[in-house]
Amino acid sequence: MELVLVCPGCRTRTADRIDVRTLDPSGPLGDVLSCACGRRYPVIDGVPIVMADPAAYLRAEMATVVERELSPEVVALLVGDGPDDAPYPRLAEHLSIYLDAHWGDRATPPPDGPGAGLAVQAMVDKIAARAAAPVGLAVELGCSTGRIVAELARGADQVAGLDLHFGAVRRARRLLDGERVDYPRRMIGRRYAAASVAAGDRSVPAARRLLVCGDALDPPLVPGAFDRVVALNLLDSVANPRQLLAVLDGLCAPGGELILSSPYAWQSSVMADAERLGGADPAVDLAALLRDGTQLSARYRIEDEAELPWTLRRDARSCATYAIHYLRARKM
C-alpha cells in the first residue's frame, strides 16, 4: 500500500467500516489537494494542511503559516515589544526548543546550558532498535521537527509524519529533504543567537515519506494501513487521550505495533480533568487499557516498557525535565 492522504471532511463511519476518498494534487503549481467531494486543502512550502476545518486553522495560525526564516537580529526586533505569549514570540520559542530537542546532536553550534544535548536520544535509541524488525508503512503522530520520522524510515519502506504545528512540520520537510535549516536559538528572555542544523544521513527521500500538518485526533490517513504506529509525548498534549488511543488503534494494521510514551504531565489548559487517563499511576492504567482492549478494536500484548529521560532546553539558563513512560505493544 502506498502513502496517501484522505479527505477528513467527507469521511464517513458506520458500525463496521470507514469510507474515505483520497486527495489529488491540483492547481497550476500542484499546491492544492482536491477531493471529489469538492473540498480543497492548501500545500504550503511542500507541506499539505489537511484537516476538517482548514479555514479555522488558518485564521488562528496565519502567523505560523506565512512566517519565513529570519536572522536572530530581526527575530529579536520582532519579539522585543509586546507580551511573551504573542503569536510570533511563541513560534520563535517553540522552534528553538524543538529543533534543539530533535536535532541538537547535529546543530552548529551545539545547544548550551541546562538540557543541552539531544533530548530525544533515549527515544531515538528505542526506535533505532526496531529497524531490526522492518515494516512496510510506519507513522508518527506529533512528529514535530521530524527526528523520529527520520529514525522510523530506517526500519520502514515508507513513513508518514503528522503534527498540528505548521512551523515545525515545515522545518521537518526541509531537513528530511536534505536542506540545512537556520534558526534562532533562544538564549535569555527575548535574545536569540544564530544556529543551524542539517539531517545529513538522516534525510529521507520524498518518495519514501509523507509529512502533513493535521490533527492527531482526526488524521487524514488510511485506517488500518500502518504496521508501526508511534505517538511520543502526545497523550498529555491532546484534549482527549482516549480518543487518541482509539485513533492510533484505528491506524494500526492487524499484528502491527503501537509505540507510545508520555510524562503524563496533565494540564487543565489542554484537557478537562475527566479526560485524564487513570489515577495515581497512569502508566499502569495505560498498559491495562491496551491489554484489555478497552474501547479499542483489539487487545494488545505489551512487548517493552521503560522509564526514559526527557529534558527540553528552554534557554541558556533553564530547561524542563521529565521522566517519560515508554511502551511498545503488539496488536493481537
Which structural domains are found in the chain, ordered by start? 12-331 (3.40.50.150)
pLDDT digits (tens, 9 = 90+) for 111-138: 999 989 899 999 999 999 999 999 999 9
Look at residue 63 in the predicted model and tell me its pLDDT: 85
pLDDT surpasses 90 at 26: no
3-state secondary structure of 168: helix
pLDDT surpasses 80 at 16: no
Taking residue 180's Cβ as centre, other Cβ atoms within 10 Å add up to 12
Largest CA distance in the chain: 56
Chain centre to alpha carbon of residue 69: 21
Work out the pLDDT band at 12, boundaries 50, 70, 90: confident
Distances (CA, A) of 26 to 9, 13, 29, 62, 197: 17, 27, 7, 22, 33
Owner of C-alpha cell 529570519:
70
